[in-house]
Amino acid sequence: MTDGRYIAWDTSSLTGILSAFEVEKGALKPVATWSLSLETSKHSERLLWSLDTVLQSAGWRVDQLSGIAVGVGPGSFTGLRIGITTAKMLARTLGIPVIPVSSLAILARGASAWLEEREDSGSIRILAATDAAKGEWFVLSGSWKSVRECVALAEGDLPGVWARGVREEAIPPEAAIQELSAKLDQYPEARWIAVGQSVLRYPDLLKSLPQTRRIRIEDPEIHRVQTSALTRLAFEAIQQGIVRSPSGLRPRYLRASEAEINLQKGRILPSPMHPRGGKS
């Protein structure tokens, strides 16, 4: 699966993004993009409308799609469920595959692309962080050159592309800062850059890091997922054969949801349809 028309979206954060693109003779051709904000509306209310808007802008019919790429997290439990469920249902109806991409890789790729345009980029560590609630961040960290080689993690026997040394985890922000500090101590010539809504929300947490080695990007959009990064990652996934059947698409939560934790601890009763809720 290579050439064709594709649509991609990510609903893992407050910013929902959609992109329509073509692959022709192995080359990428962006066609249309759209973004929506959870601060003013819900992804559940706007995703299908936005999808229709992007298709109309591209001049495509939905039955002309060759595949659907979707951000699989980590991120908002509700946002991921909406985005992934919509992708699975539509792909199953159309009989086309789905393409998973890491939502944190989308965020980090925006910074990586910015650095790639600078000749003096050198040795740089990237920290991409979003709020995971419960006193934790969803974090992707690694060298900027390694981040460029991350698309999606492999699942069992299913393929993925993920550079060694790039970590994706849910940890307390203090632990994320300590990990980055240790890397900067290990590589005294390295500089660092931090992106994501958590970076904007908790700037004081970064003050313990060497500020003279920090790279600052004034564009506030660098702290949001970007359609250009989503399009590029989806294209790279297609080129690498990172595709799934609709039934095989899974969110990457990194940790159990509150409902799952309560179920495991017996605080709520399982439904009759749950494996633990049926009759023995």
Q: Label residue 137 by pLDDT band (50, 70, 90).
A: very high
Would the pLDDT of 83 be above 80? yes
Would the pLDDT of 118 be above 90? no
Residue 201 near residue 130, CB atoms below 8 Å: no
Would the pLDDT of 278 be above 80? no
Residue 225 near residue 107, CB atoms below 8 Å: yes
pLDDT of amino acid 260:
47
pLDDT in tens, 139-197: 999 999 999 999 999 988 899 999 999 999 999 999 999 999 999 999 999 999 999 99
Would the pLDDT of 279 be above 50? no
For 48-57, 158-167, 215-224, 251-260, which range has the lowest pLDDT when averaged over its residues?
251-260
Mean of pLDDT values over 207-227:
94
Sheet strands side by side (includes 136-143): 167-171, 136-143, 124-133, 191-195
Q: Which domains does the chain have, with CATH numbers?
A: 4-102+226-257 (3.30.420.40), 103-223 (no CATH)
Question: In sequence order, which residues have a C-beta less than 8 Å from that of residue 230 and are 6 or more positions away?
Answer: 8, 9, 10, 17, 19, 69, 71, 101, 106
pLDDT cut 90: percent of the chain above it: 76
- Planar angle of CA 274, 275, 279, nearest 5 degrees: 95
Q: Which of helix, strand or coil describes residue 213?
A: helix
Residue 110 near residue 226, CB atoms below 8 Å: yes
Would the pLDDT of 258 be above 80? no
Residue 50 near residue 42, CB atoms below 8 Å: no
